[in-house]
Structure 1
Amino acid sequence: MKSKAIHFISIGGSAMHNLALALHQQGYLVTGSDDEIYEPSRTRLEQSGLLPAQIGWFPENIHADLDAVIVGMHARRDNPELKKALELKLPIFSYPEYIYQQSQHKQRIVIAGSHGKTTITSIILHVLKHHNRVFDYLVGAQLEGFETMARLTPDAPVIVIEGDEYASSPIDASPKFLHYKPHIALISGIAWDHVNIYPTWEEYVDQFEFLAEAMPKAGILVFDESDDMLDVIGQKERPDIVKVPYEAHPSEIVDGRTYLLTNKGEKVPVFVFGDHNMKNIAGAMAICDRLGITDELFYEAIGTFKGAARRLEKVVEKEGRILFRDFAHAPSKVEASTKAVRQQFPDRKLVAAVELHTYSSLNKAFLNQYKGCLDDADVAVIYFDSHTLAIKQLPSISVDDVKSAFERPDLHVFTDSTQLLEFLIAQTTTAEVFLLMSSGTFGNLNFELVGEHLLHPVSN
């Protein structure tokens, strides 16, 4: 039987390249294009023979023999390959649409929310894998023990999907998670984000309301009842929908290690920490319960979960000095991660640095949402790059704009990554815990160099 031919417009994206790899592993004929491909996408595509021979868009890549074209958000509406696909009337999908098309016969579980969805999805996958369950998945971070961030097979009865609220494609502004039509949905919390698409808080919240309203009969809606807005959405009466609220799992911290407290009086040591992660664990546990994983089986597996890549990821530790790297960028995520590290290490000096890198965080009108989010840090640092503003075609912001928004007089603001590195290295004489938060790279900051200086602090 002839293998299906799939072309990816914008193959270099995090989700896009993982879906491309997943389909390639299933024997599909996969091609793709992009105008920029960064690591780790570049190496992973190259190792599978899927890296485009040339960078750029080439209409000749689009032909009548293609079975489908999958278009990513990085492409624009006037993309020449997309225009050619439209002219040829080929089947065109966003990646959430395509995943739904390929999983209509599966039980679909979608993890949504402004924060925590990657970690919750990761915990569920870890627990299922630990107990040798058969499942497909899509998750937004690399996990230990998983070769790719996506798996799509014909036989798995269940698919667990990290579903975000961002637009689906350049020609489809609807949120990704609505396309999945979940049988079970979890919403972890709501905090305004993506202001370039949802310019008001109300418009943003509406997307999660739409998700809850779209649940099918006999559907299950799991939600964090400690989130005031989400509790309103979750508790609303919906015929034939099962409501499953959750709150943070009971825990305690002993000598810098977090332990889950079970209802049988047992203590289960875990690698993840912080109030937000105790909520993530409780949410994942509620989903696993619906998949036939008992509490005992869950606790057996969670003790070996070391977290998703760049989610409070420990880069280096030696003699009490620790460097964490975290994907946090939105205000609620920054506040949660900073508070988590402070609670875990209450007596150590904490340096917390945030890169303003997203459309929302670099939007002057949105900056004041960050007020107070770094209050738990002893030393608070902000970095942003004017080049990123130019790429995203956003109005410039100044150092004073940032200081005013955060309302922290001792805030250190940098626009040069070399100066940022020098400042961080200088802090190693007194600070013991470093937390670097960004969905970017801090201007290609050398994390290994920072880590090396943590192990061998500079002298006064």
Structure 2
Amino acid sequence: MIRSTPFWLAGGPPEGRARLHFLGICGTAMGAAAAMLQEEGWRVGGSDESVYPPLSTFLASRGVPLHEGYRPENLPKDPGAIIIVGNAIRRGNPELEAVLEEKRLYLSLPELLKLLFLWKSRNFVVAGTHGKTTTASLLAWLFAAAGKNPSFLIGGLPENFGAGGHKGNGDIWVLEGDEYDTAFFDKRSKFLHYLPEVVLINNIEFDHADIFPDLASIQLSFRRLVQLVPRTGRVFVNADDPNSLAVCEGSPAPVTRVGFGKKAEIPIRVVRYFEEGSEFEMLGRRLRIPLVGELYVRNAAMAVAAAVHGGVSLDTIAEKGLPGFRGVRRRGEVHAEVGGVTIVDDFGHHPTAIRETLRSLRLRFPDRRLWAIFEPRSNTTRRAVFQQALPEALQGADGIFLADVARKDQLPDSDRLDPRRVVEDLRRKGRLAFFEPDADAITAHLLTLVKSGDVLVIFSNGGFDGIQEKLTTALRQAGST
């Protein structure tokens, strides 16, 4: 029986709530939200066609029912079920078409969060092209370390929590604010649904070439986000990024600039890097994080500034919060060490993120040969828009492998990245660089070149056909012969 009052206000026992079915449940935010809601007593399930770790194994460990492949019969039999439509779902998807034909009630994930939770909480929205996941994870951890028991939804798996979503009993929500569109029926950026009290803007660059024509259109979306912050709220912005500063002009809420330069109201000073972490000064305190590199220092500084604004003491931050942060899965995560070879898994797919990650790895693994293995898989890196920027970013490695463009038949030749040209450009820069079509070919070729002491970093925002484990297995077998 469908309740007469809206399900997001009705509350009541779990058996009285509508069933939730997620289309695209293996998306990072979708999977995190599904597991969180099941933990809260909702009846949850979903479907996806891109089923790979870590989300597939995470959902399995939480007992969330998962259909592989999209079929109308996957939909719940209960006509009162609510269908949560992920932003990767497009018209023509057989489950979506059945939802529309049967006139089922459907919502986007941001709509669901707003209606269930965000209208009654203090929402800290972490936005920007790079560093959102790490900054949001660290901010949530700083609140947790202070005993504030925050709720959060993050597009990754923070190691401190073991899940990307959690409903706490405090009044704070931390949300990774993605500028990508909301759903096939709502082309606004997801973060515009999040009722922000505090916004953090790490940086703004051109990305998401499949939905944004240029940088100006991305900045327009960020301007709209800033305009949603109440006058009693606050915007924290990267003081060193003109693109970010520009979107804060005319903000109704106070703006605080955080960074290294002269424009910063909260300056970052006296930075030192070590193999095991970074140190810096801000707000009159010497702080240390177990992450290496400038990008991580910037992420930490933004999280610290927002946490202090949210009522966390600098003592707690310095003594308990920052030292206890364990990072995020697939953000410079060591996947395996075999025969003296270290395999690192990283989500990086934008040239800036790749460049900064390689710089970080140079500091973490000094005097070791560094290999970058890159899959052009995101909707932007599959395109020619980064044809010149990718060689500049990847040259920070000693050796580079590029795979073929994912789903390349979806793009005309004139719009598609040419990985062979990237390899040629890298060779002209004096780097060992190779093109191989897929994970198996890369594994076979790399095995003839890799030596003990090498570091291999896998860059992909997807599964990359399990190359991490293929390399691990191949190196083990080679070591046993």
TM-score range, shorter chain: 0.7 to 0.9
* Aligned positions, number: 453
**Contact 1:425–1:450 under 8 Å retained in 2:** no
Distance 1:62 1:397 in 2: 41
Against the structure 1 CA distance between its residues 133 and 340, is the aligned structure 2 distance closer, same or farther, given a 3 Å change threshold? same
Counterpart in 1 of 2:203?
189
Deviation digits for residues 82-102 of structure 1, max 9, x if unmatched?
Answer: 445445655421101111112
Q: TM-score, normalised on structure 1?
A: 0.88
Aligned mate of 1:329, from 345, 349, 354:
349
Deviation of the 1:357 alpha carbon:
1.1
User: Which residue identity lines up with residue 446 of structure 2 in the other structure?
Assistant: L
Aligned mate of 1:245, from 257, 270, 287:
257
Distance 2:477 2:49 in 1: 39
Deviation digits for residues 346-383 of structure 1, max 9, x if unmatched?
Answer: 53332222221112111124422324112322223322
Deviation of the 1:57 alpha carbon:
2.5
Counterpart in 2 of 1:12?
26
**Contact 2:382–2:405 under 8 Å retained in 1:** no
Against the structure 1 CA distance between its residues 385 and 257, is the aligned structure 2 distance closer, same or farther, given a 3 Å change threshold? same
Residues 48-447 of structure 1 mapped to structure 2, 5 A cutoff: 48-52=62-66, 55-58=69-72, 61=75, 65-66=79-80, 68-86=82-100, 90-102=104-116, 103-152=118-167, 155-234=169-248, 236-239=249-252, 241-247=253-259, 249=268, 250-254=270-274, 256-262=275-281, 269-300=288-319, 301-316=321-336, 322-385=342-405, 388-390=407-409, 392=410, 395=413, 398-403=418-423, 408=429, 410=431, 411-429=433-451, 432-447=454-469
Distance 1:203 1:53 in 2: 36
Deviation of the 1:223 alpha carbon:
0.9
Distance 1:317 1:265 in 2: 39
Against the structure 1 CA distance between its residues 367 and 327, is the aligned structure 2 distance closer, same or farther, given a 3 Å change threshold? same
Distance 1:455 1:127 in 2: 42
Against the structure 1 CA distance between its residues 367 and 204, is the aligned structure 2 distance closer, same or farther, given a 3 Å change threshold? farther
Deviation of the 1:73 alpha carbon:
1.8
1:32 aligns with 2:46: yes
Distance 1:75 1:361 in 2: 20
Compute the RMSD of aligned alpha carbons: 3.1
Q: Which moved more, 1:66-75 or 1:77-86?
A: 77-86
- Per the alignment, in what secondary structure is the counterpart of residue 464 of structure 2? coil
Against the structure 1 CA distance between its residues 365 and 127, is the aligned structure 2 distance closer, same or farther, given a 3 Å change threshold? closer
Deviation of the 1:192 alpha carbon:
1.0
**Contact 1:323–1:451 under 8 Å retained in 2:** no
Percent identity over the alignment is 25
Counterpart in 1 of 2:264?
none
- Per the alignment, in what secondary structure is the counterpart of residue 246 of structure 2? helix
User: Which residue identity lines up with residue 36 of structure 2 in the other structure?
Assistant: A
Distance 2:192 2:44 in 1: 26
Deviation digits for residues 119-164 of structure 1, max 9, x if unmatched?
Answer: 00111122222232221100111122424211246x4311100011
User: Which residue identity lines up with residue 312 of structure 1 in the other structure?
Assistant: G
Distance 1:87 1:264 in 2: 57
Q: TM-score, normalised on structure 2?
A: 0.84
User: Structure 1 unaligned runs (5+)?
Assistant: none
User: Structure 2 unaligned runs (5+)?
Assistant: 1-11, 261-267
Distance 1:227 1:26 in 2: 40
Deviation digits for residues 168-209 of structure 1, max 9, x if unmatched?
Answer: 111111110111121100011112111011122222222222
- Per the alignment, in what secondary structure is the counterpart of residue 338 of structure 1? helix
**Contact 1:349–1:430 under 8 Å retained in 2:** no
User: Which residue identity lines up with residue 420 of structure 1 in the other structure?
Assistant: I
User: Which residue identity lines up with residue 158 of structure 2 in the other structure?
Assistant: L
Against the structure 1 CA distance between its residues 423 and 319, is the aligned structure 2 distance closer, same or farther, given a 3 Å change threshold? closer
User: Which residue identity lines up with residue 142 of structure 2 in the other structure?
Assistant: V
Against the structure 1 CA distance between its residues 287 and 427, is the aligned structure 2 distance closer, same or farther, given a 3 Å change threshold? farther
